Chain A
Amino acid sequence: MDNAVYYKAAYSAAALVYAAYAVSLWWRDRALSRRAAALRRPANGGSPRAG
């Protein structure tokens, strides 16, 4: 009985779903980091001067 293609497809699909979710977590984290950096940036866009 050769039905190995089904388990190979199942393992590949599971790995794909988990990998896609990990990428989505990383992507959302990166977007939040960029939003936080934009919020910290001074309103005039330049670096804050001493004094």
Chain B
Amino acid sequence: MRSTVISDAGPAPLAAAPAAPDRPTLDWLFGVAVVAVVATFVRAIFFTPIEAMQGPAQKILYVHASAAFVGLYLGFGLVAVASVLYLWLKDEKLDRVAESAAEVGVVFTTVVLVTGPLWGKPVWGTWWTWDARLTLTLFLWFVGVGYLILRGAVEDHGTRARFSAVLGILAALLVPFIHLSVYLFRTLHPMPIVLKPSAPSMPREMTVTFVLAFLSFTLLFAAFVRARYRIAVRRDTLLAQEEGLV
């Protein structure tokens, strides 16, 4: 029987330590993303009309739904793709991509879980309800945090990457259920108003603001993932140097 060692025998050496990059971790892409997010916030707050039924609280849509699209679909989608490819190719770069995307995905999902109740209270009259969409999103967040804890707990590089890849794929399998939960179950959460087969159910100004929010959050996601990837490369290079491999 093939056994897996968590840490007893000490970590296996990194097979291929990359060269340490001199580029700054938070670079020009992060600066562009910050400007784009601030511009989106200004447009959403000052230049986008207030919705008649919900009032100003509806503006939470631009932060909440954009963070959900980026964190759940892009973040955990990238984790799944990189994890599947890692299990196939065993390339450490793919493990680092999955690691970086998972951490940033958890950050964006945190924003979803913080802004959701702040929208739910004025519109539904409650901060939280245990319906399918909310509960599954919270569950995905826990699985994401568990993924990061797992990475910190396993010292052997190969074992860590393999276990993480499997857990990352399983976490991403929750995303389609989260998207379809509003159709499959009775839920307080509204149906999609943008990501659906027909045209968005919003006036043009609101749709433009939403698209800008999605694009700026996507830029921020890319900047965070790139920065986190560079940190992972530096960490692995340093570990290899400390182990005398470079």
A21 close to B224 (CB less than 8 A): yes
In the complex, A9 Cα to B116 Cα: how many Å?
Answer: 11
Q: Which of B103-122 contact A (CB under 8 A)?
A: 104, 107, 110-111, 114-115, 118-119, 121-122
User: Which partner residue on chain A sits nearest B20 by CB separation?
Assistant: A36
B114 close to A10 (CB less than 8 A): yes
B30 close to A22 (CB less than 8 A): yes
B218 to chain A, nearest CB (A): 13
A26 close to B111 (CB less than 8 A): no
Q: State which of A11, A17, A39 has its C-beta within 8 Å of the C-beta of B107.
A: A17
In the complex, A26 Cα to B224 Cα: how many Å?
Answer: 11
A7 close to B114 (CB less than 8 A): no
B118 close to A9 (CB less than 8 A): yes
- Please report the number of residue pairs spanning A and B whose Cβ atoms sit closer than 8 angstroms: 94
Contacts of A32 in B (CB 8 A): 231, 234-235, 238
> Given A2-B55, A36-B238, A10 and B26 touching (CB < 8 A)?
no
**Chain B interface SS verdict (over half):** helix
Q: State which of A6, A17, A29 has its C-beta within 8 Å of the C-beta of B118.
A: A6
User: Which partner residue on chain B sits nearest A35 by CB separation?
Assistant: B238
Residue B56 is within 8 A (CB to CB) of chain A in the complex: yes
Residue-wise interface mask of B (28-72) relative to A, using a CB-CB cutoff of 8 A (1 in contact, 0 not): 001000000100010011000000001111111001100100000
Residue B129 is within 8 A (CB to CB) of chain A in the complex: no
B219 to chain A, nearest CB (A): 12
> Given A11-B45, A29-B25, A39-B241, A17 and B122 touching (CB < 8 A)?
no
Q: Which residues does B use to contact A, with CB under 8 Å? A: 20, 25-26, 30, 37, 41, 44-45, 54-60, 63-64, 67, 104, 107, 110-111, 114-115, 118-119, 121-122, 220, 224, 227-228, 230-231, 234-235, 238, 241-242
A11-B60, A21-B107, A25-B26 known; 4 new pairs, CB 8 Å cut-off, are A6-B119, A7-B56, A13-B114, A18-B107
What are 15 A-B interface contacts by the 8 Å CB criterion?
A2-B55, A4-B55, A4-B57, A6-B57, A7-B56, A7-B60, A10-B63, A10-B64, A10-B118, A11-B41, A11-B60, A14-B63, A14-B111, A21-B224, A25-B228
Q: Which residues does A use to contact B, with CB under 8 Å? A: 1-4, 6-7, 9-11, 13-15, 17-18, 21-22, 25-26, 28-29, 32-33, 35-36, 39
